């Protein structure tokens, strides 16, 4: 049990310190709209287009993440003359 707690404590402290640094300061908090209050630093969005752009980017990131994981787990190339065989076959 002693070894386990020694590994967990530094990781816990690191994660807690990272989350504290991510909180918005009081000045930035007043400038943000209700949705982002306490979450983001700096000036708030200039218009509604900013939310649309961020939404589109989030969708693109999620689709990319889905296909990256999908093709990493099951690549689907079973053809013996596939280009990956040049790297994997050492004969």
* Secondary structure tally for the chain: helices H, strands E: 4, 0
Query: For 20-75, what is each residue's pLDDT tens digit?
Result: 555 667 777 777 788 777 777 777 788 889 889 999 999 999 999 999 998 888 87
Q: How many CA atoms lie within 13 A of 70 on its CB side?
A: 6
User: pLDDT by residue (tens digit) across 21-34?
Assistant: 556 677 777 777 88
Q: Give pLDDT, residue 59.
A: 97
| Sequence-distant (≥ 6) Cβ neighbours of residue 23 within 8 angstroms | 38, 39
CA distance linking residue 42 with residue 24, whole number of Å: 8
The answer to whether the Cα torsion of 38, 41, 42, 43 is positive or negative is negative
């Amino acid at each position: 049990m002693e070894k386990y707690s020694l590994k967990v404590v530094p990781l816990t402290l690191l994660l807690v310190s990272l989350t504290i640094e991510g909180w918005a300061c009081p000045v930035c908090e007043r400038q943000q709209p209700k949705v982002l209050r306490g979450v983001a630093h700096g000036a708030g969005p200039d218009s509604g287009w900013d939310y649309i752009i961020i939404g589109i980017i989030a969708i693109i990131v999620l689709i990319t993440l889905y296909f990256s994981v999908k093709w990493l787990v099951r690549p689907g190339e079973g053809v013996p003359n596939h280009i990956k065989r040049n790297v994997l076959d050492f004969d």
